[in-house]
Structure 1
Amino acid sequence: MTVVLPILIGLAYAVLMSLIPEPHRRRFNAIMVGGAGAAYLSGGGLGGWEFPFTALVAYCAFRGLESWTFIGIAWLLHTGWDILHHLKGSPIIPFAGDSSFGCAVCDPVIALWCFWGGPSLISLVRTWITRPHTTDAVSPASPPG
């Protein structure tokens, strides 16, 4: 459950973000990852290193206003920061000891969705459900003639 729940949270995040139309979805996600970059500032336990990390993620978030790739990079940077906090710092949620580990599992799920271009998962599922499915592996050949 320590791994499954964070993966489900990452997927739920992508599904909920799918409710926001583009280009607002990308911009909103840039703001979200910018905020995530500052999550440890008030007591993450890595001292002054919290500030340059926050600045780096803020830069990626700014670039993410126009680029899903930069948003994905910022989420992966946050993943690394979560791992450091799990091993050496303080958890992201003070009363949940493994919360930084969970965040380190969740964030790459979100990053993959971002690298995919942050598509609406709801629209993808609707398209998949409504498109005609065939059971034939090979399309039939045209009749001889």
Structure 2
Amino acid sequence: MPPARQHTRPTSSRLRWVWHLLTWLCIVLALAGAVLPGLPTTIFVLIAAWSASRCSPRLHQWLREHRLLGPSLRNWEQGGHIDRRTKWIASAGMFGAMCIVLLSFSHPVLLGTILILIATGALVVWSRPEPAMHERPWRNSRDSA
């Protein structure tokens, strides 16, 4: 076997483990973000799916079919959509984080920076299109308005 091939094989194997580690770290952070205010969920799901697609098609497929993480991922893959329910949940989390920040910090520069980041996150979330009714994994009459 040529020396160059021997050298690249372990590197790609190590890199594959790095992708696996990143995938599982993001899955853990996404699940934590589902219950902790201020910690995003969707971005970690997207990063996990991206890194899983680089190391394990089976893991990527598991993410796509996951009961909690899969619908957001499939919506994003089908056109960068974020459904209204997820937008409201993200907004509630950002509001909770904002309340914690307002009660915890008094330094104006730090406070202003954090609030600008939260506002930017809200703007990004609410600027994304919503999936069409037939593409939604769930149907809710309250969201038809």
* TM > 0.5: no
TM-score, normalisation: structure 2: 0.33
Query: Larger % of helix: which?
Result: 2
TM-score, normalisation: structure 1: 0.33
Higher relative contact order (CA 8 A, sep 6+): 1
